[in-house]
Structure 1
Amino acid sequence: MTIQVNIAPNGRMILPADVRKRLGLADGGALLFEETPGGLILRTVAQSVAHARSLARKYTADKPDASVEGFLANRRAEGGE
């Protein structure tokens, strides 16, 4: 789906109410822009977290200690702490 959003001279843009509602932003909220060579990707914070987790899973799926806790435990063990 493509929706045109106009940007005011002061940099503000208004998302249509039905889009805000679908994204769970009816009462306001935060969006993150990701600039890519192909253009901008607009995601809610929850969508961005889910995207980051899916990317991390590609590299950590077969590594049980590939977590923040596992990383810190390994660093402590290597550092003699």
Structure 2
Amino acid sequence: MTVQVTITPNGRMSLPADIRKRLGLAGGGSLLVEETPDGVILRTVAQSIAHAQALAKKYTAGKPEASVDAFLAGRREDSGE
């Protein structure tokens, strides 16, 4: 779905009500803005978390040594703690 929105001179824009409703933002909320070489991506916080989890899973699947605890232990070891 592509929708054109207008940006006011002070930088504000409005998302159409049906999009806000689908995203769970009907009563207000926050979006994260990601600038990419291809354009701008707007994501809800929940969508951003899911995106980050999917990226992490892609790079750590099947690698038990890729846990946060293992990473921190490695950093402590590297720093001589």
Query: Moved runs in structure 1, 4+ residues, more than 3 A?
Result: 73-76
Structure 1: tracts of 5 or more residues without a match: none
Say how many residue pairs are matched: 80
CA distance in 1, matches of 2:29, 2:62: 35
Say which SS state the counterpart of residue 66 (structure 2) adopts.
coil
CA distance in 2, matches of 1:69, 1:26: 39
Structure 2: tracts of 5 or more residues without a match: none
Q: Which residue number in structure 2 is paired with residue 24 of structure 1?
A: 24
TM-score w.r.t. the length of structure 2 is 0.84
1:46-57 alignment, distance < 5 Å: 46-57=46-57
Cα-Cα RMSD: 1.6
- CA offsets 1:8-52 (integer angstroms, 9 cap, x no match): 111111111111010011111111111111111111111111111
CA distance in 2, matches of 1:30, 1:9: 21
CA distance in 1, matches of 2:16, 2:28: 12
Q: Which residue number in structure 2 is paired with residue 3 of structure 1?
A: 3
